[in-house]
Amino acid sequence: MAIGLNILYLIGDRGLDLTKGEGYKIHVLKIIDGLKKNGHKVFLLTINENPLLSEFENYRTIQHKYLRLFFHRFFPFTGTINSINILLQILRLNKSYRFDIIHERFGLYSYGGILASKMLHIPHITEVNGPGIEEKKLFTKDITPIQKFTAKMIRKFCLRNTNHVVAVSNNLKSFLLDNHLINRRDKITVLPNAADVTAFNKQFDAQSIKASLHLEDKFIVAYTGTLQVWYAIEDLIAAFPQILKEIPNACLLIIGTGQARMTLEALARNLGVSDRIRFMGYVPHEKIPEVLSIADVAVAPFKELGMTFFGSAIKIFEYLCAGKAVVASKIGQIAEVLQDQHTALLVTPGCVEELGNAIIRLARDEPLRSYLAKNARIEAQKYSWDKHVERLVDIYRAQVKNSPLGRG
């Protein structure tokens, strides 16, 4: 039996708050839980405003602090200071834990893990979920030229010096190679996100759940996830007047919360469909399989953002595991994972009419819904967190084996 590894899981990005119910938190939890289940020891080191992470154990948080007074105006990228703190913490922690490998989730300005890796001769794996810099202007706000220059230099330094890169999509792999951030194809592995197959494959009493929500006679369309500007949830809402004309008993459940909620609620009111759209707010992730079990159709609408779609949407894999008829935007990795007319109906991003027609078609065609749902469950077996973790451990062991201090 292989010896368990001592793993440091590092998050140097202060924007990833592990007290929130975002997709990245699910990713982190599932990987850490999967590693521990397979006999490995994991210690989490993260930049987090809240020092208490109730769903994690064996962790330490470093609080992000801006420079005081006017210094922040001249040195606004204080993530570089966080990196020094990360380096010092790893050096201290390693005295007790003797880490075999450092797994770092890539973050802007974060170079402390790389420096620690070099000083301690510990292999370093970088997990990349997006290019970071290019996404800032789309998802939050663009950074200043001096910040961008600094971030690009640090990104190149880290990706060139890490032992191996794990990217969530082929689009992201191409970006890293085409921009010469990684100089060898064999240094990068594409590892999509996944889902908890067991949790989402459970059988629930859908009729009782519908009754508790007063939805007994409704054709239920569901969206799960955060309500952020990069999702095309407004297209889904905009399609609902069209849907209701053909399917009068249709009801949309929006499961999740986020910064776009007020705007989306206002849109539903303006279109006169607010009585058929239920914003359920935040639902703990462990309850999502139960709520999703009552859905007739699950939808994953995305926008064309003027740049390549790099992501790996966890909701897609969860919809498959739940055995749902899926309607999704034909974009990025989604078009690679889902096969049109076989595991889902794929629609053009931004086309409200096409989105509405796909949902109407599924509402009218129960055999097609059953066909897609059956194929979805079969396809889902490829994308379990267990298999994801197995592949990750294979990467760890290959790097540890090649390390001067490695245990193989």
Q: What is the pLDDT of residues 348-362, one digit of tens each?
A: 999 999 999 999 999
Contact 299, 222 (CB under 8 A): yes
pLDDT mean over 175-179: 94
Could you tell me the pLDDT band of residue 55, with boundaries at 50, 70 and 90? confident
pLDDT mean over 148-171: 93
Give domain limits for the chain: 6-194+385-401, 197-383
In this prediction, what percent of the chain has a pLDDT beyond 70?
93
- Give the DSSP per-residue string, 200-241: HT----HHHHHHHTT-TT-EEEEEES---TTB-HHHHHHTHH
Q: Is the pLDDT reported for residue 179 higher than 80?
A: yes
What are the two backbone dihedrals, phi and then psi, of residue 147, each rounded to the nearest 5 degrees? -65, -45
Choice between 308 and 380, residue whose per-residue pLDDT is larger: 380
- Supply the DSSP symbol for 118: H
Q: What is the pLDDT of residues 57-73, one digit of tens each?
A: 899 998 876 555 554 55
**So what's the pLDDT on residue 199?**
93
**So what's the pLDDT on residue 308?**
84
Q: Cα(311)–Cα(169) distance, rounded to whole angstroms?
A: 7
Could you tell me the pLDDT band of residue 48, with boundaries at 50, 70 and 90? confident
- Supply the DSSP symbol for 274: G
Mean per-residue pLDDT over the chain, rounded: 90
pLDDT mean over 250-254: 97
> 145-161 and 112-120 helices cross at what angle (nearest 10)?
30
pTM for this entry:
0.91
Alpha carbon separation from 197 to 16, 83, 243, 287, 352 (Å, rounded): 25, 36, 31, 14, 31
Q: Is the pLDDT reported for residue 137 higher than 70?
A: no
Could you tell me the pLDDT band of residue 408, with boundaries at 50, 70 and 90? very low
Alpha carbon separation from 190 to 99, 165, 398 (Å, rounded): 24, 9, 16
Choice between 235 and 231, residue whose per-residue pLDDT is larger: 235
| Angle, alpha carbons 40-46-50 (nearest 5°) | 125
- Collect all residues with Cβ–Cβ distance below 8 Å to 314 and sequence separation of at least 6: 23, 26, 27, 193, 194, 195, 225
pLDDT mean over 154-158: 93
**So what's the pLDDT on residue 49?**
77
Q: Give the class (CATH, top level) of 6-194+385-401.
A: alpha beta
**Range name among 145-154, 233-242, 274-283, 340-349 with the lowest pLDDT average:** 145-154
Contact 300, 178 (CB under 8 A): no
- Give the DSSP per-residue string, 5-68: PEEEEEE--TT--TTS--HHHHHHHHHHHHHHHTT-EEEEEEE-SSS--TT--SEEEE---PPP
**So what's the pLDDT on residue 390?**
96
Q: Give the class (CATH, top level) of 197-383.
A: alpha beta
- Give the DSSP per-residue string, 370-401: HHHHHHHHHHHGGGBHHHHHHHHHHHHHHHHH
**Range name among 64-68, 87-91, 204-208, 279-283 with the lowest pLDDT average:** 64-68
Q: Cα(358)–Cα(360) distance, rounded to whole angstroms?
A: 5
Q: Cα(299)–Cα(233) distance, rounded to whole angstroms?
A: 9
Q: Cα(53)–Cα(64) distance, rounded to whole angstroms?
A: 15
For the chain, the C-alpha Rg in angstroms (whole number) is 22
pLDDT mean over 364-390: 96
Q: What is the pLDDT of residues 301-313, one digit of tens each?
A: 998 877 788 889 9
**So what's the pLDDT on residue 407?**
47
Could you tell me the pLDDT band of residue 132, with boundaries at 50, 70 and 90? confident
- Collect all residues with Cβ–Cβ distance below 8 Å to 302 and sequence separation of at least 6: 230, 231, 232, 309, 313, 328, 329, 331, 332, 334, 349
The domains spanning 6-194+385-401 and 197-383 adopt the same CATH topology: yes
Element (H, E) at 280: strand 277-281
Choice between 133 and 207, residue whose per-residue pLDDT is larger: 207
Q: What is the pLDDT of residues 94-130, one digit of tens each?
A: 999 999 999 999 988 899 999 999 999 999 999 999 8
Residue 361, classified by CB atoms within 10 Å of its CB into exposed (0-12), middle (13-18) or buried (19+), is middle
- Partners of residue 188 on adjacent β-strands: 165
